[in-house]
Structures are given as C-alpha cells and as structure tokens.
C-alpha cells in the first residue's frame, strides 16, 4: 500500500500539466482513437493547461504589489492562511489515499454503465478535494473507514452535481461536451452564489442592474474591449494602492495580458478535448447504448477564459483584502484565499449568468463567509496538517478545508462528540 501511495504521489507531484496528457491519451486510446490522434489530443490539453497555469501565475504576480500594500495595513492575526497547495499535498498522506483514485474511477465507470450518470471525471489532480474532508474525518474521528467513505461519497457527489451543472456550464462557457467536477465549487460555492443572486432579485434597483462585458463592449466599442477593460482595471488598482508610474503601467499591461491570453489557453485545451469527447460519445453509442452520451468532467480552471470571470477576479481581490482588514472577528490575512478567488469567480459568474455586478457581489460575499468558516475550522485543519507531518506554529487554515459546508459540519460534529 505504501509503495502504491508513493507511486501515486510521485505521479501527482508532476502536476496537472504532466498528468493530463497521460490521462487524455489513455482515454483516447480506450475510446478507439488512433494512437497519433490520442497523443496529439493529450499533449494539446496538457500544453493548454500549462499555459493556463502560466497565465494564472501572471495574474497573481501582477497583483502582488497591491496585495503587499494592503497587507502592511493589517496586523494582529492569530491564524495563518496556509493555501490550497500545501493542504492538497497534505491530503495525500491519508492512509486510504492510494485507494481513492482506483475505487473512485471504478464507481464512476459503474455509474456510467448503469446509466446513473453521464459524467466521466478525468480530473484526477483534484481528487484532493475528495480526500481533504476524508482526511479531516479520519483525523478528528480516528477512523480510516469513516474517512474513506467520506472521500468516496464526495467523488460520487461530484458526478451527480456535474451532470446537473453540465447544460448550464456548456451554454454559458461554450465548452461543449464538458462539465466541472471540482466538488468544492460546484456543490457549495455555486449554490451559495445562486442564493445570493436570489437575494439580489429582492433588492429594488440593484435587481435591475444588468452589466456584462458583452453589453459594455457593444455600447463602448474599443473602450469596452476586454483588453482595454483589463488595462483600465489593472491601472486603476495600481493607482489606488499608490504604485509608481511604472507599477501602474505594469499592473495595467499585466491584467490586459491575462484578459487576452486566458481565453486562448482555454481554446487550446478545448482543441485537444473535443476529439476525445466525440470519440467517447461515438464509443458509448456503439458499445453501450445508442442514446447515451458522455460528458467529460474537468477542472474549474476550464472556465477561466471568460472575460467576466477575469474582470470579477481583479475587481474582487482588493475588496477581499479590505474586508479582511475592517471586518470584526476576521482572524487571518487571506493570502491563500486570494489565489482561489479566480476559481470562486468562475462559478459565481456562471450563477450570475455573466452579470458583472452580481458576479462581484456573489464572489465577494462568498469570500467573506469563508473568512469566518475557515477561522472556525482552523483547529481541525491544524490537526489534519500536523497529522500529515507539517510543522505549524499556532493555527493554520485554508479555504479547501473550511470554506465548504461539509468541512464545517465535520468539525462541528467532532466538537460536539468530544
């Protein structure tokens, strides 16, 4: 078991950009694609994801001076925001981690075979989102069986929610044949964003505001182009955070570059995914059922190419920092959370149907809620991280543990019992 886990960790350590080509190529061959076509599809998806990661890094690097400016204004925090990367890596130290992928894939295939779901989850990289609540359960209740069952339950939930989300996902983002299976975001962030939109519907005046990037583009012409919007928003953020002239220009150009390049990286990924999706559906109709179709479950990052999502991210981040500084009871500076805002924005924009004002409000509200839930779950998150062998001084937390409702419930239930 330890050897298997070590092998899985070594493969996952290569990152999604290396794992995806292998998975996509393997799926292509399974669905009877030519070897050359399967290899090309795998490499195209992997390189597209590599590009996507580079653009996300560009966005993070571009906004670093603004984050540093606000961070200097705050003090007195008692909890450290660890960040999803460290927590995700720690989750693979669960004793049942080596079984999670094969059992999860087996159940996925069985559910497809019997017609219960249409989603084929190939997002192996994000199995960490199934493992995190499972590992938390294991640590808090000292039960590997309970932890494993929670992990598998989360993987199944991702399939059913992915099925429900698929039509909305494909219609809004134009990502034919795909859905999202990042369970934290589709099974919790998305419903919360829908609820926030329902509340906005009840607010006179605000419920009439319909501002989308498309509308702005139509009304303002070149000024409403996503690149120009990125240049303006990035430059304005630089001015507000008292950057010098070069800093303002750098931030403006950086955000404009993200607005231009992010959709192109998503297009490259879809160029590789589309042939596999067509081969999968052809295979399903021939081998299983003429009426069956297969939907490919992917990382939420696939939705990052949407201009409204990117704009929402850039606008929301300064407000998240500001609220962390002024709201009572916030116990950590959200350094790790800031790297997740772009992913929250994907599903919040989806729930808001591209309305920029609603997207910003729902993303920001979700982040504020998460500041408090993450602080509440911090003792449990710290225990989990220490069980994984991480050295932590004081308390640590992260949105991947404390943001979803199931993390809160698991920790609350353990507190009641103990």
SS (H, E, C) the chain: CHHHHHHHHHHHCCCHHHHHHHHHHHHHHHCCCCHHHHHHHHHHHHHHHHHHHHHHHHHHHHHHHHHHHHHCCCCCCCEEECCHHHHHHHHCCCCCHHHHHHHHHHHHHHHHHCCCCCEEECCHHHHHHHHHHHHHHHHHHCCHHHHHHHHHHHHHHHHHHHHHHHHHHHHHHCCCCEEECCHHHHHHHHHHHHHHHHHHHCCCCHHHCCCCHHHHHHHHHHHHCHHHHHHHHHHHHHHHCCCCHHHHHHHHHHHHHHHHHHHHHHHHHHHHHHHHHHHHHHHHHHHCCCCCCCEEEECHHHHHHCHHHHHHHHHHHHHHHHHHHHCCCCCCCCHHHHCCHHHHHHHHHHHCCCCHHHHHHHHHHHHHHHHHHHHHHHHHHHHHHHHCCCCCCCEEECHHHHCCHHHHHHHHHHHHHC
Q: Which residues make Cβ contacts (< 8 Å) with residue 252, sequence separation at least 6?
A: 230, 231, 232, 234, 235, 238
The pLDDT tens digits for 366-413 are 999 999 999 999 999 999 988 888 777 778 887 888 889 999 999 999
- The span from the CA of 238 to the CA of 269, in Å, is 32
Instruction: Please report the pLDDT score of residue 60 as a whole number.
Output: 77
The per-residue pLDDT for 182 is 94
Identify whether the C-beta of residue 332 lies closer than 8 Å to the C-beta of residue 311.
no
**CA–CA distance from 299 to each of 5, 11, 77, 304, 341 (Å)?**
23, 18, 32, 10, 15
**Residue 69 neighbours by CB distance under 10 Å:** 18
At residue 216, the pLDDT reads 66
**Residue 199: how many CA atoms within 13 Å on its side-chain side?**
10
List CB contacts of 300: < 8 A, sequence separation 6 or more: 180, 182, 185, 186, 343, 346, 347
- Alpha-carbon distance of 412 to 406, in angstroms, equals 10
Place of tokens 């698991």: 410
Residues in the chain where the model's pLDDT stays below 50? none
Nearest to 313 by CA among 341, 351, 350, 354: 341
């Amino acid at each position: 078991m330890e050897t298997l886990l070590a092998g899985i960790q070594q493969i996952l350590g290569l990152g999604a950009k290396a794992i995806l080509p292998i998975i996509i190529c393997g799926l292509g061959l399974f669905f009877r694609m030519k070897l050359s076509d399967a290899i090309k599809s795998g490499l195209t998806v992997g390189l597209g994801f590599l590009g996507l990661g580079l653009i996300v890094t560009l966005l993070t690097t571009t906004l670093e001076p603004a984050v540093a400016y606000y961070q200097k204004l705050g003090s007195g925090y008692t909890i450290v925001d660890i960040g999803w990367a460290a927590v995700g890596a720690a989750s693979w130290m669960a004793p049942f981690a080596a079984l999670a992928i094969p059992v999860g894939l087996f159940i996925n295939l069985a559910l497809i075979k019997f017609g219960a779901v249409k989603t084929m989850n190939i997002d192996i990289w994000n199995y960490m989102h199934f493992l995190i609540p499972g590992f938390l359960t294991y640590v808090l209740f000292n039960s590997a069986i309970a932890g494993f069952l929670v992990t598998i339950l989360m993987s199944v939930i991702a399939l059913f929610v992915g099925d429900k989300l698929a039509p909305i996902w494909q219609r809004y983002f134009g990502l034919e044949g795909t859905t999202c299976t990042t369970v934290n975001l589709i099974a919790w962030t998305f419903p919360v964003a829908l609820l926030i939109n329902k509340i906005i519907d009840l607010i006179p005046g605000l419920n009439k505001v319909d501002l989308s990037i498309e509308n702005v583009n139509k009304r303002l012409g070149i000024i409403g182009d996503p690149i120009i919007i990125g240049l303006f928003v990035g430059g304005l953020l630089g001015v507000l955070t008292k950057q010098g002239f070069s800093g303002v220009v750098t931030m403006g150009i950086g955000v404009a570059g993200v607005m231009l390049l992010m959709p192109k990286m998503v297009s490259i990924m879809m160029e590789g995914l589309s042939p596999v999706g067509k081969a999968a559906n052809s295979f399903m109709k021939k081998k299983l059922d003429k009426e069956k179709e297969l939907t490919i479950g992917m990382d939420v990052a696939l939705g990052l190419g949407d201009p409204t999502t990117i704009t929402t991210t850039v606008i929301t981040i300064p407000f998240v920092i500001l609220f962390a500084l002024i709201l009572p009871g916030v116990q950590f500076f959200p350094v790790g959370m800031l790297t997740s805002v772009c992913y929250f924005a994907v599903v919040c924009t989806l729930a808001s149907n591209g309305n920029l004002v609603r997207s910003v409000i729902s993303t920001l509200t979700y982040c504020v809620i998460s500041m408090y839930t993450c602080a509440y779950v911090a003792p449990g998150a710290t225990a989990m991280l220490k069980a994984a062998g991480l050295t932590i001084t004081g308390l640590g937390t992260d949105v991947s543990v404390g943001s979803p409702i199931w993390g809160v419930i698991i920790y609350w239930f353990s507190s009641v019992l103990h």
